[in-house]
Amino acid sequence: MTTKDEFAGMISDEELNRMRWASRRGMLELDLVLEPFVAARYVHLDASERKVFQQLMLCEDQDLFSWFLRRERPGDEELAALVSKILEFTRAPPEAR
């Protein structure tokens, strides 16, 4: 089994720090969803999922808010799949994260 440290070795500290910074949004509600996901799961995403996450971070806060509240769904299927993955993580009990 691959450990978190082994996954972390596959991405640069600079990339991880950039995504930690990008997950800090202008809305507390988004911070509470995105920051824990980046801290716990970003290093476990494959390269294509990391690219989609980076695209997600370029989206407007209002769009993200609507997606995470399930008021709307992203038109892009890759973004929609990642939003679902983030929501699953958010709903999981802390010990399962």
Phi and psi of 31, rounded to 5°?
-60, -40
List alpha helices for the chain, DSSP H.
Answer: 4-8, 13-22, 28-41, 47-56, 61-68, 77-91
Instruction: Write down the CATH superfamily of domain 4-96.
Output: Flavinator of succinate dehydrogenase (1.10.150.250)
Give me the residue label for tokens 């299927």.
77
pTM comes to 0.85
**pLDDT tens-place string over residues 50-81:** 999 999 999 999 999 999 999 999 999 999 99
Band (1; pLDDT cuts 50, 70, 90): very low
Phi and psi of 51, rounded to 5°?
-65, -45
**pLDDT tens-place string over residues 6-16:** 444 478 999 99
Contact of 83 with 65, CB cutoff 8 Å: no
Kindly state the percentage of the chain with pLDDT values over 70: 91
